[in-house]
Amino acid sequence: MDVIELLPRLHLLRFPVGQAYLWRDDGELTLIDAGPIGAGRPIADAVTALGHTPRDVRRVVLTHFHEDHVGGAGEFAALSGAEVLAHRLDAPFVRGERPGPEPRTEEWERPLHAAALRQLPPGPPLPPPSLTELSDGDVLGFGGGARVLHIPGHTDGSIAVFLPAHGVLFTGDTVAAAPADGTPVPGVLNLDRALLLASIRRLAELGAEVACFGHGDPVLSGASAVLRSLGAAPDQPTGTPASR
């Protein structure tokens, strides 16, 4: 796992498949997403290497239920005691009560979907010991007041998290960076691409300076302008990542 400092308060945790973000408020930490199965211990080790303890991570906010984002959540919660949070529509899948719906893939997306599945460790994720359900408009106690935005399209319960005090936005897989050249693109492997594009247009109106994506390098300046350009994207993007 690579640990990359993006801002003095923000680190990117990059796994062989998937990534997460670690936000710091003085001695208290928040994890956005939790990587694939097996990521719990590497996350704890990264937190320790940064001069904290796993118990300094008070919460894990999940942007959606896909395995490369929630796989390590239960593992890390067991190590740290962190609260795990997800949108109420994706919560049953995070808890392991039933399998989540498969993306409605176009023909051009099917090789991406197969490649993504091959990269994931086998087996179901360990469910978190408890789960706090989120709704649109909730405000969380980090980053000077973190706003939860329900942005369906990639999944029905996808969320973004916006820190207005810092201009930082976490988009989950609603937006990604293409692996070939890092160009931001609308997310792929969605339940409803038209709804996803509408969600991107909503995110563009927030005025974010920094946008942290579910896959690929973040945008560290001028994020709102980038998001505005993506909201009018064509039906079939090019150079898109094999994300899930």
Go through 137-152 and write b for each residue having 16 or more CB atoms within 10 A of its CB, e for each that does not: ebebebbeebbbbbbb
| Other residues' Cβ atoms within 10 Å of the Cβ of residue 35 | 28
Other residues' Cβ atoms within 10 Å of the Cβ of residue 191: 17
User: Is 238 a domain residue?
Assistant: no
Instruction: Show the tokens assigned to 37.
Output: 């199965």
Confidence of residue 242 (pLDDT cuts 50, 70, 90): very low
In a domain, 221, yes or no: yes
pLDDT of res. 184:
96
In a domain, 242, yes or no: no
- Residue 217: is its pLDDT beyond 50? yes
Residues near 197 by beta carbon (within 8 Å), at least 6 away in sequence: 153, 186, 230, 231, 232, 233
Q: What is the domain range of residue 51?
A: 2-230
Between β-strands 10-14 and 19-25, what pairing exists: parallel, antiparallel or unpaired? antiparallel
| Confidence band for 239, pLDDT divided at 50, 70 and 90 | very low
Residue 225 belongs to a domain: yes
- Whether 243 maps to a domain, the answer reads no
In a domain, 128, yes or no: yes
pLDDT on residue 121: 83
Per-chain mean pLDDT for the chain = 93
DSSP letter (8 states) at residue 63: S
Q: What is the pLDDT of residue 241?
A: 46
Looking at residues 207-211, what average pLDDT do you find? 98
Indicate whether 240 pLDDT > 60: no
Instruction: Assign residue 32 the CATH number of its domain.
Output: 3.60.15.10
* pLDDT value for 110: 84
The per-residue b/e assignment along 67-88, b for 16 or more CB within 10 angstroms, e otherwise, is bbbbbbbbbbbebbebbbbbbe
- Look at residue 112 in the predicted model and tell me its pLDDT: 77
Does the pLDDT value for residue 113 go beyond 80? no
What's the structural domain count of the chain? 1
Quote the pTM value.
Answer: 0.93
Residue 235, in any domain of the structure:
no
Q: Is residue 52 part of a domain?
A: yes
